[in-house]
Amino acid sequence: MPAIVTPDICDAHPEVRTLDPLFVNFGGIEAFCGPVRTVKCFEDNSRVKEAVEEPGEGAVLVVDAGGSQRCAMLGDMLAEKAAANGWAGVVMFGCVRDIDVLAEIRLGVQALGAHPRRSEKRGEGQRDISVVFAGATIRPGQWLYADNNGILIADERLMLED
């Protein structure tokens, strides 16, 4: 697969949408892409756990956690599960924790920040729906491209040059 360089992708594909520059790279893989799967939840990561326990098949889990800064929605155990199950990455509109360990896991992880407190577990949330945050609507099946420059959303897989 060609290198993911979001400025080059923007130049070659002006139709892509960019997420507002709110995210920090926490994962062991700094550039990643894949088809989108979504979770919408607030301070309850039950649906995130459910998703990463399934085969990822190179997809990116996009989590609308409501932008909460009061707890982490992904930590080392769920990130390790995601990596083991073939997820390319997780984009979290919320916080993550265990960031020193996340940096060692072969998974792309971008989030708003770090928080030491874990989330609730009430079984709440929705999966595979459109989510809206950071200036974009993101739908399951779209493609996400991410690196240290930013996060892009395309309606379909892009042909990238080597």
Residues tagged in the binding site annotation: 75-78, 97-98
d(CA 47, CA 23) in angstroms, rounded, equals 21
Instruction: Answer yes or no: are the C-beta atoms of 149 and 61 closer than 8 Å.
Output: no
Quickly tell me which residue has 């949408």 as its tokens: 17
Residues annotated as binding site for Mg(2+)? 98
CA distance 39 to 128: 6
Binding site residues for substrate, as ranges? 75-78, 97
Closest CA to 118 of 81, 65, 54: 65
Match 């072969």 to its residue by tokens: 106
Pairing of strands 60-64, 126-127: unpaired
Distances in Å between the Cα of 82 and the Cα atoms of 5, 10, 47, 78, 136 are 23, 28, 13, 6, 24
Phi-psi region of 84 (alpha: psi -120 to 50; beta: other; left: phi over 0): alpha
